[in-house]
Amino acid sequence: MRSTIPRDKVWISDLNAREEVRGGFDRSRPVRFYDTTLRDGEQTIGVVFTPEEKYEIACQLAQLGVGRIEAGFPRVSEGDSRAVKRILDAGLSSEIWGFSRAVRADLDAHVELGTRQVLIEISTSDLKMNAYGFTREKVLDKVTDAVRYARDNGMRVIFFAVDSTRSDLGFLRHVYETSLAAGAEEIAVVDTIGACSPEAVGYLIGEVRSWVGAKVPVHFHGHDDFGLGTASAIAAVRAGAQWIHGSINGMGERAGNADICEVALALECLYDVPCELDLSKARQVSRVVQKAGGYTVDGWKPVVGENLFVRESGAVASQFHIPAAIEPFSADIVQAQRRIVLGKKSGLDSIRLKAAELGLDVPDEKIAPVLAEVKERATSAGRLLADSEFREIVDRIARSAA
């Protein structure tokens, strides 16, 4: 299976085609995504989604092509319980999964709602276990009890080893094997506080794959504390992870989770690895999540930033008619609009392009005076100029020549 993004829409370095760069990936199947925006993403400081907003976000995630949506943790609140129930009943194309600690009461809440698939978590590093007052024996007992209880109640199970990347590897293997013996069908490697380099993630995924065998799906859940969330997810895919966890806009505690749209774009464009996301929907779902969360992402954020295909610099504007000269991929891939804005850094070509966009006739001899006023006004105001201001400048300078 090949990447679904047309190669003539991607303008990257030829070095990416070298086998030592692109080798090691399984391209026979698409990488799939497990989205945790509604649970881990909501742990972003100050963010509270209403049940209605969670439902709307879930609908958007399904349209994006997310394979699995983590609907939430119903024991958190009555509102979360209502949200999970509404999402379960919506008949979305994505699989709907619940979140649970290795605690029967958490699982009972899902049984009551009719959840058929659940992710069960418990800490496996000595540091985290000590913080909770758990011994290794207690963790193993709780894993066995919770997984068997979920299976007895007809639920599929992913076992999620919290702080996997800081766990003793011998014990981590024992926990995974215990979860599988109890009935878990899939396992997740979890870099809970973003403590692993991409190379270390790749190593650990490879080790875990050798422990659990080729038939057990392996997930990777990573965080972005060192700005390496996307790189670590790619390393996990190269090492054999079939599922990548993350959120929209990279939401989450501290520096957030891996951003699933960034991971998909990088895999598709740089490594020619097919992904199960429709990136033409990425900016729409991003806007919905931003509105619900009450925040705005940086304009320069990959995939969804508002400035990615907007040009102010005159030097860059002179190349605007050749997208490949100034952009690594086509705006069409993410359904973004290319446009020129006017400000302190504008040039003569910026004036020509903006005038053509707005249908204004600016004689060649008037372009320089118009530019001079645009730059002076933008510098004085410390901002870009609105189209209405540009129209006024053009109109006034044109009248002065009459």
Calpha distance 393→382 (Å, rounded): 17
Query: Tokens at residue 98, please?
Result: 């619940």
Q: Do 198 and 323 share a structural domain? A: no
pLDDT in tens, 146-192: 999 999 999 999 999 999 999 999 999 999 999 999 999 999 999 99
Can you give the CATH number for the domain in which 161 is found?
Answer: 3.20.20.70
300 falls within a domain: no
In the chain, what are the helix, strand and coil shares in percent, each to the nearest 5? 50, 15, 35
Query: Tokens at residue 130, please?
Result: 């000590």
346 falls within a domain: yes
pLDDT classification of 76: cutoffs 50, 70, 90: confident
Amino acid identity, residue 46? G
DSSP string, 308-343: TTEE--HHHHTTTT-HHHH-SB-GGGGTPPPEE-BS
299 falls within a domain: no
pLDDT classification of 7: cutoffs 50, 70, 90: very high
pLDDT in tens, 179-238: 999 999 999 999 999 999 999 999 999 999 999 999 999 999 999 999 999 999 999 999
Instruction: Give the Cα-Cα-Cα angle 130, 190, 96 (nearest 5 degrees).
Output: 115
pLDDT classification of 399: cutoffs 50, 70, 90: confident
Calpha distance 42→38 (Å, rounded): 6
193 falls within a domain: yes
Most distant CA pair in the chain, distance: 90
70 falls within a domain: yes
Alpha-helix runs per DSSP H in 66-135 = 78-88, 104-113, 126-132
For residues 317-345, average pLDDT: 96
Instruction: Report whether pLDDT(374) > 60.
Output: yes
pLDDT in tens, 78-122: 999 999 999 999 999 999 999 999 999 999 999 999 999 999 999
Q: Do 259 and 391 share a structural domain? A: no
Question: Which is more confident, 3 or 170?
Answer: 170
| pLDDT, position 1 | 60
Instruction: Report whether pLDDT(401) > 60.
Output: no
pLDDT in tens, 112-153: 999 999 999 999 999 999 999 999 999 999 999 999 999 999
2 falls within a domain: no
Residues contacting 70, CB < 8 A, separation 6+: 34, 35, 36, 38, 39, 40, 97, 98, 99, 119
For residues 22-34, average pLDDT: 96
For residues 383-397, average pLDDT: 94
Q: For the chain, give the percent of residues with pLDDT over 70.
A: 99
> How many C-beta neighbours within 10 Å does residue 299 have?
11
| pLDDT, position 400 | 74
Supply the range of the domain harboring residue 388: 310-400
| pLDDT, position 402 | 53
Query: DSSP strand E in 208-318: where?
Result: 218-222, 243-246, 310-311
Calpha distance 257→192 (Å, rounded): 9
DSSP string, 48-66: ---HHHHHHHHHHHHHHT-
150 falls within a domain: yes
Closest CA to 348 of 318, 322, 325: 318
Domain tally, the chain:
2
| pLDDT, position 2 | 62
| pLDDT, position 12 | 97
